[in-house]
Amino acid sequence: MSIEKQISIIKNEIKDKADLVAVSKTRTVEEIQKAYNSGQLKFGENRVQEIVDKQSKLPNNIEWHMIGHLQKNKVKYIAKFINLIHSVDRISLAKEIDKHAKKENRRIDCLIQLKISKEESKFGLQIEDFKKFYESLKNYKNLNIIGLMGMASFTDDNELIDKEFKKIKTIYDDMVLIDSEFKVLSIGMSDDYDIALENGSNMIRVGSKIFGKRNY
């Protein structure tokens, strides 16, 4: 099925409950252009070199989201144009984003990535460290924390996925009450966004369901 068709199916499913970030990692500029032509404006990438390259070749009104593990020394390449960084999970990274945002004379919107699955390979901040981490980010005025991101376990066990999303939703709900900037809960990917939407997701990150299976 075509990229345009898939996007329209997904948008129809989510209605106005959530924003759709089209995850375009490994995809060509031409494929992204197709999605853009059908009205899609938010795109997510997980590698700095790729996002910088694509940003320079595609229309200026695209919103670029950094969704993957971000190395400190690469923040400078994206600080000028990035719309939302989903993967803030350590102080050293926050400090670097703040520094480059200041240089660019802007505030950069960010999400704190929480580790909600028990899988070894996933990045993200441990839930028990969240409160302290959040408090220490207050020093960084050019970093604007607007919500949370999480990735559920890669599994067919829907109950486990549901449990993991509920964990992050509870923390998100607490934060909304105390921080007026909090407005984004980024949970849900191709295989689990239905469960994420049931759990209050308002931003889903969908790649393979739009563009087809990735070949790395």
In the complex, the residues that contact ligand PLP under the rule CB under 6 A are 23, 25, 46, 67-68, 151, 189-191, 205-209
Instruction: Classify residue 1 as exposed, middle or buried by CB count within 10 Å of its CB (0-12, 13-18, 19+).
Output: exposed
H/E element, 173: helix 158-178
Instruction: Classify residue 180 as exposed, middle or buried by CB count within 10 Å of its CB (0-12, 13-18, 19+).
Output: exposed
Distance in angstroms (rounded) separating the CA atoms of residues 127 and 154: 19
Minimum CB distance to ligand PLP smaller for 115 or for 205: 205
Question: Under DSSP, is residue 147 helix (H, G, I), strand (E, B) or coil?
Answer: strand
Distance in angstroms (rounded) separating the CA atoms of residues 47 and 200: 28
Of 14, 71, 45, nearest to 211 (Cα)? 45
- Give the residue at shortest CB distance from ligand PLP: 207
Alpha helices per DSSP H over 39-141 = 48-57, 75-78, 91-103, 130-136
User: In the chain, what's the furthest Cα-to-Cα distance?
Assistant: 48
Distance in angstroms (rounded) separating the CA atoms of residues 150 and 123: 9
**What six digits make up the tokens of 95?**
């400090």
